[in-house]
Amino acid sequence: MKFIKTKIQDVYIIEPNVFGDHRGYFLESFNLKQFEEHIYPIKFVQDNESKSSKGVLRGLHFQTPPFNQAKLVRCIEGRVMDVAVDVRKGSPTYGEHVAVELSGENKRQLFVPRGFAHGFSVLSDTAVFGYKVDNTYAPEYDYGIRWNDNDLAIDWGLNEEEVLLSEKDKNLTFFKDLDSPFDF
């Protein structure tokens, strides 16, 4: 596996070694020893998977303490634009984001540490998206930021009229109104 640092501390792109031939391919999607050698010790407790159609945008989400989560995400089938926004007060990159295209073809993953809002948009007809988390889901601690916040200026790879949102995501707060529970 290749661990690639991004412009934001602790956010990594992970590229697995893919072994393919006429039968298909094999890859190791997670290796705890390698992960801990390159990033830091972690204990993932849950795996999640979603399937979405083109234009679906999920995010930007995070859970507040004590249920904050780190995520290791990947697109198993299709293509998504995956985004992590630094919401750690005092961070030199507070309010900045990393946006990476993840796909079933490139097999890349993104590690999103605690203290980041996360979201993705579906660029292909459909996408199957998987993620590991290091804390359980707690809906009463679920929070988020609007996807189209002008202060964040995120390019989701979609035209605004293509975007499909949940009712919850339509009503998330703006970044300037965020009272972040995370410190750097």
Catalytic (active-site) positions: 61, 131
Exposed, middle or buried, 129 (CB in 10 Å: 0-12/13-18/19+)?
A: buried
**Residue 58 C-alpha from the chain's centroid:** 10
Please give the structure tokens belonging to residue 115: 């203290």
- Whole-angstrom Cα distance, residue 130 to residue 140? 22
In sequence order, which residues have a C-beta less than 8 Å from that of residue 118 and are 6 or more positions away? 59, 60, 61, 62, 71, 73, 82, 83, 84, 85, 112
Size (the chain), residues: 184
Whole-angstrom CA distances from 182 to 61, 87, 114, 150, 164 are 14, 7, 8, 22, 29
